[in-house]
Amino acid sequence: MMVLLRHLLGDVLRRLRQRQGRTLREVSAEARVSLGYLSEVERGQKEASSELLSSICTALGVPLSQVLREVADQLALAELQEAAMLGGSVPAEPVPDDRLDIEQVPDRVPDVVDMVGV
């Protein structure tokens, strides 16, 4: 069974709201989104746009990065559980090949003026 990102996102948003002891009505009013739509986002029935997600996070007083980090953690856990149920292994996270060696970083980054030759 594949885990849908919108379900995980909704769960995280609902948990954060409930932890604060706030109602859907309070958060929807502050985020300027309809109560019904926020409810559908929390239940994983609607995909939240980046703008809507930003408004909800602002209304909850939490950084978007925190929400996304919690979603990523939940997704990683779901992948592990799914792999265990299937009896397979979880692929290792790819190691980026584009890591910069400190020796590759120039002492001075050229200004935009330098690049356009003005």
- Specify if 25 maps to a domain: yes
Q: Are 22 and 55 in contact (CB under 8 A)?
A: no
- Which residue blocks in the chain are alpha helix, DSSP H? 5-19, 24-31, 35-42, 50-60, 64-86, 112-116
> Structural domain tally of the chain?
1
In which domain, by residue range, is 52 found? 5-86
pLDDT of residue 85: 85
CATH code for position 81 = 1.10.260.40
Per-residue confidence in pLDDT tens, the chain, 118 aa: 677 899 999 999 999 999 999 999 999 999 999 999 999 999 999 999 999 999 999 999 999 999 999 999 999 998 898 888 887 655 555 544 444 343 443 444 444 334 444 3
Distance separating the N- and C-terminal Cα atoms of the chain = 58
67, 89, 82: which is closest to 8 by C-alpha? 67
- Rounded Cα–Cα distance for residues 60 and 70 (Å): 15
- Specify if 93 maps to a domain: no
- Rounded Cα–Cα distance for residues 30 and 59 (Å): 5
Q: Are 68 and 50 in contact (CB under 8 A)?
A: no
- Specify if 116 maps to a domain: no
- Specify if 12 maps to a domain: yes
Please state the pTM of the whole predicted model. 0.71
- Specify if 104 maps to a domain: no
